[in-house]
Amino acid sequence: MWRIGTSTRVFWQYPIMKAIDSIASVGYKAVEIWAEHPQAMPRTLDNSRREAIRQAIGKYDLLATLHASFRDLNLVSLNPPVRDESVKQVRESIELAHDLGVRCVCVHPGRLTGTRDSLTEAWQLTFDVFQDLANSAADLGITLAVENMENRNKEMIVTPEDCVQLVNTLKKPNVGITLDIAHANLTGRLRDFIGTVAGAIVHVHLSDNTGARPVHMPIGEGKIDIPSVLTDLRRESYKGLIVIEGYQPDMAPEKSAKKNLEKVMSLYNKPYDQ
């Protein structure tokens, strides 16, 4: 039913072209390109490099998504120059996605930076920023998939209700939610996410955990009932990709990625089109 992919972040120590080669050789049908240093920082990729990445994706007939830049960024920073640079880099990620032929961009929402920040002000900035980014993305035929974040201090988009508030307030047809299953499990309400946010889920990140750190464990090594989660997604008619983010730091990335893929396929009856 679904194509299963993995992230180039799992192959972080590899150049981007080798990462794509390795992902395809393991047997994945999709790839998520991380728009981050050192692999694919948008402003470091000239047109020839972008075309090479696009051709590599096509060579292996991979479906592709792109994870927007987010390191050291904050889309709702109360410091205007920081906020402006953050928005600029996400917009550059959207433009990179267009150049690569990608139609879905995963975006981390902003966060509070101080204990005295106004949550009301931060939400208004969130709506304003995503209105702007959604318009830019729509012009390029791209959907933004805003990711639910870990249940930790100062994060804003954490609960199912947060996700619903964002998409219902924006009312943008090209804005949906990336359901990060591991993040959702940290709230203790994973199954609530799928039922409450189902109609807005346009992308899925999959990894395992025990309900605590480490967050992105290999599939089958935590306590998430992954077969039930996949069954719920099927029942809710989810039609996007599933991108595996779990990894094992002490294992070669190809071996870790293959182990994850085989485990997912053993837990569910081939949930992707071959």
pLDDT tens digit string along 223-251?
999 999 999 999 999 999 999 999 998 99
Asked if residues 185 and 179 have their Cβ atoms less than 8 Å apart, the reply is no
CA dist., res. 119 & res. 49, Å (int): 41
Is a pLDDT exceeding 60 seen at residue 144?
yes
Helix (H, G, I), strand (E, B) or coil at 151: coil
Count of CB atoms situated within 10 Å of the CB of 235: 11
Write the pLDDT tens digit of every residue in 162-208.
999 999 999 999 999 999 999 999 999 999 999 999 999 999 999 99
Number of Cβ within 10 Å of residue 14's Cβ equals: 18
For residues 14 and 6, the answer to whether their CB atoms sit within 8 Å is no
Q: Which of 183, 215, 208 is nearest to 267 (CA)?
A: 208
In CATH terms, 4-267 corresponds, of 3.20.20.150, 3.40.50.720, 3.90.1310.10, 3.40.50.10490, to 3.20.20.150
Q: Give the number of other CB atoms < 10 A from CB of residue 95.
A: 18
Instruction: Specify the pairing of strand 201-206 against strand 4-7.
Output: unpaired
Residue the block writes with tokens 């049908």: 29
pLDDT of residue 115: 81
| 273 has pLDDT over 80 | no
pTM exceeds cut of 0.85: yes
